[in-house]
Amino acid sequence: MRISSSIKALVAGTSGTALQWYDFAIFGYFASVIAATYFPSGDQFSALLSAFSVFAVGYILSPLGAVFFGYIADRYGRKHALTLSILAMAIPTAMIGLVPSYQAIGVFAPLAITFLRILQGFVASAEFTGSAVFLVEHAPSGKKALYGCLTSSAYSTGLILAGLVASFLSASFMPVWGWRLGFVLALIAGVLIFWLRTHVAETPEYQKISPVEKPRLPFLTAIKESPLSMLGVAGISWLVSIITFGTYVFAATYLHMYFKIPMSQATLIITVSLTVDAILEPFVAMLADRVGHKKIIQFGMVLILMLSMPVFLLLSTGNLLLIVAGMIMMSILIAITYAPLNAYMVAVFPHQYRYSGFGVAFNTGISIFGGTTPLVMMWLVNKSGSFVAPAWYYMFGAMVGLMSLVICEYARNKFVFTNEALIAS
């Protein structure tokens, strides 16, 4: 039996996103090992800070990557950009697992890791936003949030896989170099996804507008015609950075470093939380498709503002059951907020420069605030001496998100898109 084009599109769109977040999360899970291997120091905090700094550096070129792949996608098709990006993302990830230690090659080791993270960030910038555009444009009317949230579920899946792999590779029976396998596995997955994407159809919406004159430089057109949309999406991505990187990347180190919870156990807790997120998001998305995307997003942001402090009070107890309860609670808040968010953000840009506008705006926010989130949270804890200090950053992010939502709504009301006319022509 032949697989339908819709199923192919869903798998092609989500699998690359899962790999992208697997790639980034596996670095976060093994941050303490990477710190000891490539940034040896007598001070654990300083070594860990160096590792998370390299994690942050990987996002520096994300906006440039979004410009590059956005140009390809808006000029030549979504499929071409996503097919090109997947192998180019998997290769540097696998190479991270092959870099010799500081003891073996000295200063070239941290330099190589930093270079590979920068390359990884440049390419991966096309993946999350690109697959969101790809899925939403493949979605039938009335199911935009559902299809769009599958990208979010894919990042949960990628993080779950990273958590399971990290938990297994950090077990006592594994060799000390076992963590490297977690990075090398990315290449195998990348080859399979590349093959799949070469056999999937272009989005129906892009096919309909392809005869229309496209902007020569889509990114510049987006800045000129939709500056408020780009500002609003960048602000929303600040909140996304905090709640995802804080909860699913930094939390493993937070629990291990401050509460002495074994890394394998910490990653398992995060995996359970991610599973809750991945399962809940499609149901929230279906509700959002019925009652409105903005209403659900606003509700989720308000809940994050109100409940972040109680969540971190649970985490700061050091009690395993209360930690699990706190992590699951935050995952529920993330699911409510994020389930309709991709469809909402994609819709604030017209088709002819959608990939570029959305990609650059979102990745600019991620590049500035995503990679730095673990650094900020470590700084807050160490500066204040309080284990609940990261909650203030969550609350600040929720306020930024709510203000950014207002900006996006203003932009949508002010700017009359020509999408329907383009598609009908």
Per-position DSSP letters for 326-353, written without gaps between them: HHHHHHHHHHHHHTTHHHHHHHTS-GGG
- Domain locations in the chain as residue ranges: 5-424
- Of the two residues 216 and 335, the one the predictor is more confident about is 335
Mean pLDDT of 278-293: 95
Taking the C-alpha atoms of residue 270 and residue 292, their distance in angstroms, rounded to an integer, is 30
Q: 251-259 and 5-29 are packed helices; what angle lies between their axes, rounded to 10 degrees?
A: 30
Tell me what pLDDT residue 167 has.
78
The two counts, helices (H) then strands (E), for the chain are 21, 0
- What average pLDDT is seen over the chain? 85
Q: Which of 200, 191, 80, 91 is nearest to 130 (CA)?
A: 80
Tell me what pLDDT residue 290 has.
95
Long-range Cβ contact pairs of 199-202 (< 8 A, separation 24 or more): 199/8, 200/5, 200/8, 200/9, 200/12, 200/79, 201/5, 201/8, 201/9, 201/79, 202/77, 202/78, 202/79
Tell me what pLDDT residue 238 has.
93
Mean pLDDT of 37-45: 67
Task: Count other Cβ atoms within 10 Å, centred on residue 90.
Answer: 28
Banded model confidence at residue 1, pLDDT cuts 50, 70, 90: very low
Q: Which of 48-52, 66-70, 143-147, 331-335 has the lowest mean pLDDT?
A: 48-52
251, with CB counted inside 10 A (0-12, 13-18, 19+), is buried
Give yes or no for residue 205 having a pLDDT over 50.
Answer: yes
Of how many residues is the chain composed?
A: 425
Tell me what pLDDT residue 286 has.
96
Taking the C-alpha atoms of residue 258 and residue 254, their distance in angstroms, rounded to an integer, is 6
Per-residue model confidence as pLDDT tens digits over 404-413: 999 999 888 7
Strands (E), 30-148: none
| Alpha helices (runs of H) in 246-262, residue ranges in sequence order | 251-259
Tell me what pLDDT residue 35 has.
76
pTM attached to this predicted model:
0.82
Banded model confidence at residue 211, pLDDT cuts 50, 70, 90: low
Q: Which of 236, 235, 247 is nearest to 391 (CA)?
A: 247
- For residues 107-129, one letter each, b for 16 or more C-beta atoms within 10 angstroms of the residue's C-beta and e for the rest, the string is eebbebbbebbbbbbbbbbbbbb
Tell me what pLDDT residue 422 has.
42
Banded model confidence at residue 420, pLDDT cuts 50, 70, 90: very low
Mean pLDDT of 86-111: 85
Per-residue model confidence as pLDDT tens digits over 45-95: 666 666 666 666 666 778 888 999 999 999 999 999 999 889 888 888 888
- Of the two residues 304 and 266, the one the predictor is more confident about is 304
Right CATH for 5-424 from 3.30.420.10, 3.30.565.10, 1.20.1250.20, 1.20.58.2030:
1.20.1250.20
Q: Which of 273-287, 359-373, 397-411 has the lowest mean pLDDT?
A: 359-373
Mean pLDDT of 320-338: 95
Kindly state the DSSP code that residue 367 receives in the 8-state scheme: I
Q: Which of 58-62, 217-221, 350-354, 355-359 has the lowest mean pLDDT?
A: 58-62
Residues whose CB is less than 8 angstroms from the CB of residue 220 and which lie 6 or more positions away in sequence, other chains included:
none
Tell me what pLDDT residue 413 has.
79
Per-residue model confidence as pLDDT tens digits over 235-279: 999 999 999 888 887 887 788 878 888 877 887 888 899 889 989
| Alpha helices (runs of H) in 292-389, residue ranges in sequence order | 293-315, 320-338, 341-347, 354-365, 373-384
Residues whose CB is less than 8 angstroms from the CB of residue 42 and which lie 6 or more positions away in sequence, other chains included:
none
Q: Which of 345, 354, 353 is nearest to 409 (CA)?
A: 345
- What percentage of the chain carries pLDDT values higher than 90? 37
Tell me what pLDDT residue 101 has.
80
Q: Which of 186, 236, 246 is nearest to 371 (CA)?
A: 246
